[in-house]
Structure 1
């Protein structure tokens, strides 16, 4: 942290934010261009009326930006219209410098002078204590989600919602698009006995919701309606619109989510984190590159022979710079989505795992952790692991979660804000 703070001090030109005069026109320009206005755009256009006379604490990371790529914390701090007194950082940190499973700790932001509290991997009570210590009245959440249950930002929101109740604080969500279009929920549903930091409640692996919609579902279904979150809705977004069709700038939500292409495959290919096969961390295309020293060219041929919809597999060789198989030659595939509206990332990943088990039975292995297996935490139950180990086909494994998925889809439908 010492090095990072020094770097930020070096780039901070002044203790006060610039006026950001161009922002005032951003919502009007977005409407004229047919683009999407985020919850923050709508909040700003109202003159921050929803935050009037409130001491505000913001849960944010680098994705909370306006169209000119200025961070919203800097915009609000410089506006004089918002009494922004604290910031709370999720996994990877408020300014986004930490790798997977890490955070930046607590410190004073050198650009704004606002205290930053670490909200990652803390207990709900500890977060509530920080809310009280910071002296805030309202918690504002604005982080770009990636659309997968095991992407941790939605669970930081869930914890902060509970903490807001304990500390007696108001909770506001500035909504952002589901980058994958949010047309439907797919994949297995979390079982209570397998909950962890990558899945705390019974939602499907690809949830198909915005963070605002999830906040409403979390409150009513899991938190007894005690939070009553206020969602500042987007304007101009509809289901089926991918992020690159919104007119909004893409900012990496985390160090290993560099592009929308990554996000599109992540709800399925993220499962390779649970195998001894590399998911491409330590390469320039994480989650799109899959491989290990014990794979070979047969893997790409076998996958392409499956004729999976919307995807092709390129035989590939690579050397990860960190994480699994660091500095070792790996063989495998690059996953190329050819039709993202037909592509099913979860079914594709299951087919890839089933094929790897079939072709390389002696080397194939699950990455073990303290019970349960990591794959069980990611998928939400032991259905996938037992199906693969038992020799089930891809279709049989996918069929095993259809009943629970249908129940979640019916539940989810009650909280959709966009059609």
Structure 2
């Protein structure tokens, strides 16, 4: 089994006192301490004497919103040689499916490289920059098709091949890490929205995922260190952490968005708008010509409800067109299953408005197969299956994944 170090516990350090102090008007409250805070309070000792490359984006902040790259670079204690930006870029200026070209960061002067969807280039750039340690710190949202975890996986692979250290600064799973749910990816459907067989809602932190990836999927395991959080409860949602929410990507503005996303992102695989270009991405869903009939046909949803809604996206699918459809509202997160809910909505939509079908490439490569990680879900829906019958398609594989992930969980899960 690969060598794995887990750092937790805080060493009081004056270097971070000002950076993490709560505003004078704020009421004291218990909150989660992220991996970067633990690292900084120890004076960045874990990175001392090493040439470091940092993979991050706008979410890599401390509680006072100082970015970790700015703090590391300005501290004089970390030799930051390069920065790597995932999808949307290091400073977050790019839209979905886009990275950033190379540039020199205006604030720090550091070189910033694109680390999005470049499987062949990762190891080459690491070697070119002469880094000895790769640091990863990005806020994930808990879904297999959110690409940051696959940037982490490719970087971990590259680090293993080159003999580099890999340090993950852990952050909360914002939509609860209590359990995994949904289909498990089949290898033949691997893309950058899912490279390895994990569940659609994996229920893990990035640190736990890195441990799983390193132990199960890398050809040459890296020298991995996970700097653990303090005070995180896996059954909690992000609002309970006391941490500031920074939108992890342009279309992930709120925690409510992230709660719906593991399911309603499946509407990317349909001809309907998934709400990109509106103020409620992944909560507003629809297309021109759809009306009240869809909302009325969905029926009861556990922990959620829908309303008839109309909207006009200002970019992405159906840009500038008036779309009819629904707004999804989660009423009880403890009862809400985003994947089952979204599939129930898709089944109802296809029956009420069958003219809106799947997105595909030449009718051979279906987006739904990439997002669910298999073709069984799509074929069952096409064959007329009811929504309640679909979870049986992945139950056995989900049980196997849930068992596999157990040995890589770094935070104790409590029973229901």
Normalised to the residue count of structure 1, the TM-score between the two structures is 0.91
CA distance in 1 between counterparts of 2:65 and 2:350 reads 44
Residue 195 (structure 1) aligned with residue 190 (structure 2)? yes
CA distance in 2 between counterparts of 1:118 and 1:353 reads 35
- For 2:207, the equivalent position in structure 1 comes to 212
- Number of aligned residues: 393
The SS at the match of 1:59 is strand
- For 1:346, the equivalent position in structure 2 comes to 339
Corresponding residue to 1:137 among 132, 135, 141 = 132
- For 1:55, the equivalent position in structure 2 comes to 51
- For 1:72, the equivalent position in structure 2 comes to 68
The worse-fitting range, judged by mean Cα deviation, of 206-215 and 314-323 is 314-323
CA distance in 1 between counterparts of 2:281 and 2:401 reads 29
- For 1:278, the equivalent position in structure 2 comes to 273
- For 1:367, the equivalent position in structure 2 comes to 359
Offset at residue 308 of structure 1 (A): 1.1
The SS at the match of 1:33 is coil
Alignment of structure 1 residues 77-226 onto 2, 5 Å: 77-123=73-119, 125-224=120-219, 226=221
Residue 38 (structure 1) aligned with residue 34 (structure 2)? yes
Higher helix share: 1
Change (3 A) 1:342 1:24: closer
Normalised to the residue count of structure 2, the TM-score between the two structures is 0.92
Change (3 A) 1:25 1:284: closer
Report runs of 4+ in structure 1 exceeding 2 Å deviation: 369-372
- For 1:6, the equivalent position in structure 2 comes to none
Corresponding residue to 1:384 among 372, 377, 386 = 377
CA distance in 2 between counterparts of 1:385 and 1:337 reads 25
- For 1:263, the equivalent position in structure 2 comes to 258
Change (3 A) 1:24 1:368: closer
Give the RMSD, CA atoms, in angstroms.
Answer: 1.5
CA distance in 2 between counterparts of 1:294 and 1:408 reads 41
CA distance in 1 between counterparts of 2:284 and 2:20 reads 41
Corresponding residue to 1:314 among 307, 313, 322 = 307
Are 2:291 and 2:325, in contact at CA under 8 Å, matched by a contact in 1?
A: yes
Offset at residue 397 of structure 1 (A): 1.2
The SS at the match of 2:278 is coil
